[in-house]
Structure 1
């Protein structure tokens, strides 16, 4: 079970309530910070200086057709659009779920498959830098995706009418 979740939001977000999409079935991921260095030889010894710093995210997910989070990466690279990305720890620390946020461009999107697995691998290059923050609360469906499914709760006979998906409380039943 992954100890992180990834959320992606289109930079030109038109989603209701400015929400982001959970990237389903996150199996592996990385947040890398790397530096370009310049070399100087001084008295026969090599000295190094920083010239620039770059960051990137890489994610591997199980391919789920129709997953809105996974689709955002493909839409972004094809339309040459930026995305907002959050990498969130699923365990609270000091009352918050620690998160790393950044604006990114999709450098590479690949679909890898064999007779046992069908995965998507994505590399995101961060624009300038990431920022650290946190969430006081997260939707339970993000922390445990199994709760996003339908759950049948106990009801008294005659309390509702209609199918599970379209049930209505019967007036006077107290439901």
Structure 2
């Protein structure tokens, strides 16, 4: 009898990625709105994001038993956020739905444990895809108005990296910056806080 082979085991013990550290960014494919060099748009006050890696398989029964094979990729991204005046993400989604345009979408894990230096900034793991807006539902109830939409991905989501500076990451994590007395006027709701946008340069590969 042959001696048993012990190849060991592989496992990870660490704190899971928090959902609040996963951010979704959008960009229009309309050249008049987003020419080359345009910034990615972060939907304001994202409530939730769901990425589905799906697809049908071929599944048939034969006289020799069951036959199963991979068939299609049917990835999709569903986002829910509150509607904020001036949020370009809402315009991108509604324009894409009304005019049959595609939308670019990135899912980015903004966790310092997975950041990799690249030049004068860091890059974070991301998935990217072109998609078609399947539906966009706006809910106007007693609470805040919110928008929920599904983007069906063409082909499949591909992996790459998304660049963010430390300042941009800090801006994503804080609602507004510290200020000293007399530095600004008006309330936060008046748009006195500075918004920060990001570049869209990525390195993607299947």
Question: Do the two structures share a fold, i.e. TM-score over 0.5?
Answer: yes
Return the alpha-carbon distance in structure 2 between the equivalents of residues 143 and 43 of structure 1. 58
Q: Does the 8 Å contact 2:109/2:124 carry over to 1?
A: yes
- Structure 1, residues 83-106: CA drift from partner, whole Å, max 9, x if none? 111111121304232111111111
Gaps of at least 5 residues in structure 1 are 156-162, 166-175
Q: Distance in 2 between matches of 1:76 and 1:132?
A: 24
The two structures have a TM-score, normalised by structure 2, of 0.65
Q: Corresponding residue for 2:58?
A: 38
SS in 2 for 1:70: helix
Measure how far apart 1:37 and its partner are: 1.7
Partner of 1:53: 73
Q: Give the drift of 1:142.
A: 5.0
Choose 1 or 2 for highest CA Rg: 1
Structure 1: 4+ residue segments shifted above 4 A: none
Equivalent residues of 2:110, 2:169 under 8 A apart: no
* Deviation readout 1:57-104 (Å, 9 max, x if unpaired): 000111223311122101111111111111111213042321111111
Q: Provide the C-alpha distance between the structure 1 equivalents of 2:153 and 2:44, rounded to a whole number of angstroms.
A: 21
Distance 1:49 1:15, change over 3 A: closer
Tell me the number of residue pairs that the alignment of Structure 1 and Structure 2 aligns.
Answer: 157
The alpha-carbon distance between structure 1 residues 145 and 42, as it changes in their structure 2 partners (threshold 3 A), is: same
Contact 1:5 1:142 in 2 (8 A): no
Quote the RMSD (CA, aligned, Å).
Answer: 2.7
For residues 164 and 152 of structure 1, the distance between their equivalents in structure 2, rounded to whole angstroms, comes to: 11
1:117 Cα deviation from its structure 2 partner: 4.1
Structure with the bigger percentage of strand: 1
Q: Call closer, same or farther: CA 1:33–1:118 in 2, change over 3 Å.
A: same
Q: Of the candidates 141, 144, 149, which is equivalent to residue 173 of structure 2?
A: 144
Query: Is contact 1:24–1:70 with CA below 8 Å preserved after alignment?
Result: no
